[in-house]
Chains A and B, each alone.
Chain A
């Protein structure tokens, strides 16, 4: 259920995503700036791939990882729509409260 959520929760994976936001990179390149093994990075990439946040090219020999921003954006858009729906409802409640407290009657 919390694939994306879990994927984003780990600081190392956020760093990897940050690196990929700049450009595609191979596992070796991703491991370089960190004090971690290639195997550990490979595992993180696996988690990010399953969450749909990262895709990996099969063609190239180094199989560079690529940040799939569409997934982030899609998630963000839905959440934003849900928030806006409720904020509008809250706004309408605000107006109703104002009306009631100013001695207005039900409309």
Chain B
């Protein structure tokens, strides 16, 4: 698996990268065509009951996800920027805090880069609304470190190791 999660130390971002063994146009199509998005968007055990994507700057999207317990979660937002085959920026309209995954509203930038016939997809999520007091409490202060993972894990590991050594 060639996905990498990165945590920039100076920005409130979460970055995930993956190289797909397919041409950029096809990857872009799978990312933007509702017929495909329906098949990959949900979480385990869920089904997508509605998927409307108006993929152009200013266009809106709506994806209804029916969880395994029957609850339907509506994921709505707007396409802030769209450059076909290259770049998509979306902004969530509402929090999905109650949904599986506890996802707060964010701005997501996806870039598609051609790498010798393969396609590198980079997802960058910014959770600006994490500043909400309410969210801070709910997520414990995950807020500032949404960007996390690898880097955060490293920090925690380093802290624990330093503790063991001293």
Which A residues fall within an 8 A CB radius of B?
1-6, 8-9, 14-15, 17-22, 33, 51-52, 70-72, 74-76, 78-83, 85-90, 92-94, 96-97, 100-101, 106-107
Contacts and interface: CB of A to CB of B under 8 A. Distances in A.
Contact of B166 (A2, A4, A33): A33
Given A2-B12, A3-B144, A82-B101, A17 B159 contact: yes
A91 to B, nearest CB: 8
| Interface size range on B against A | 35 or more
B116 interface: no
Interface in B1-41: 1, 3, 5, 9, 12, 14, 16, 18, 20-22, 26-27, 30-31, 35-36, 39-41
* Shortest beta-carbon contacts, A-B, top 6: A2-B144, A21-B163, A18-B162, A5-B144, A92-B40, A74-B140
Nearest to B123: A86
A55 to B, nearest CB: 14
B158 interface: yes
Contacts of B36: 96, 106
Given A6-B144, A83-B5, A86-B123, A97 B149 contact: no
A18 B163 CA distance: 4
B98 interface: no
Say what secondary structure dominates the interface of chain A: helix
A5 B141 CA distance: 9
Nearest to B36: A96
A51 B145 CA distance: 11
Contacts of B130: 1
Given A15-B162, A75-B145, A90 B101 contact: no
B84 interface: no
Nearest to A15: B162
15 contacts: A1-B130, A1-B131, A4-B142, A5-B12, A18-B158, A22-B164, A76-B156, A83-B14, A85-B43, A90-B3, A90-B20, A93-B31, A97-B30, A100-B22, A107-B39
